[in-house]
Amino acid sequence: MKQLITLTFFLLNLTAFAQKPCEYSANVTDSIGTYKITNEYLISEKNFGGSFSYVFFSLAQTDGLPTLNLQLIQKSKDFIKANCFDKNSKVFLQLQNGKIVTLMHIEQESCGTLIRDDKGFDNRVNTGIFVFMKDSYDELKKSPVNIMRIKYLTTTEDYIVKNELTSEMNGKVYKPDTYFIENIRCVE
C-alpha cells in the first residue's frame, strides 16, 4: 500500500511540473540555415484615456543565435510619438534575485510603421531585435523578471512586469514575469 501511495504521489508531481511543449509561429530548416520563432506573448498592456500600448515578446533562433523580438504596438486618436530603436537601444530586465540582464539591439534603426485604421485610430507598430549577452543568458532561466526598462533612441520607458496579467484586449491570462523561465529553452 505504501508503494502505491508513493507511486501515485510521484506521478502527480511529474505531471504537475512537466514543461509545456514549445509552440512556434515559424520553424524552418533549409539550405540557407535554420530559423525558429516562438508565438508572440503579451508582456505589458496599458490602456489609459483612449490610448493603448502593448508590448509583446517572442524568442527566435537563427542558425543557433538566440534573440528576443520585442514588438511595441501603440494605438490612439491623438498624436503618437515615435519610439525608435537604434544601435544604442537596450532592454534591461531586473530579476527578482536582484540581478540585471541587458540585451543589446542589433545595428538596424527602426521607428516603426504608422497605420490609420477605419475607426480613426493611429496605430504605430515597431519591432526591435535584441541579442542576449553571453554571461547573463543563464540568469533568465533561474529568476522571474520584476521590471523592464527599454532604452529607445531619445527616451527610456520603465514597465512593471506583473506575475499575472489578464488582457483587456483578448481576455487571456498571461504570466509575463516567468516568460523566460518557461520559454528560453525553446531557442537553445
Q: Give the sign of the dihedral formed by CA 29, CA 103, CA 128, CA 183.
A: positive
Q: pLDDT grade, residue 2 (50/70/90)?
A: low
Whether 77 contacts 122, CB under 8 Å: yes
Over residues 81-88, the mean pLDDT reads 92
pTM of the model: 0.85
Beta strands 24-29 and 34-38 are antiparallel
Q: pLDDT grade, residue 47 (50/70/90)?
A: very high
Single-letter amino acid code for the residue at 132: F
Q: Is the pLDDT of residue 1 over 60?
A: no
Query: What's the mean pLDDT when you consider all of the chain?
Result: 88
Give, for 9, the enclosing helix (H) or strand (E).
helix 2-16
- The residue behind cell 525553446 is 186
Single-letter amino acid code for the residue at 92: F
Over residues 116-141, the mean pLDDT reads 89
Best CA proximity match to 130, nearest among 147, 146, 152: 152
* Cell numbers describing residue 65: 543565435
Over residues 96-117, the mean pLDDT reads 92
* Cell numbers describing residue 9: 504521489
How much is the pLDDT for 31? 83
How much is the pLDDT for 19? 63
What is the spatial distance between Cα 140 and Cα 134, in angstroms, rounded to a whole number?
12
Q: Considering the chain, what percentage of its residues have pLDDT values greater than 70?
A: 90
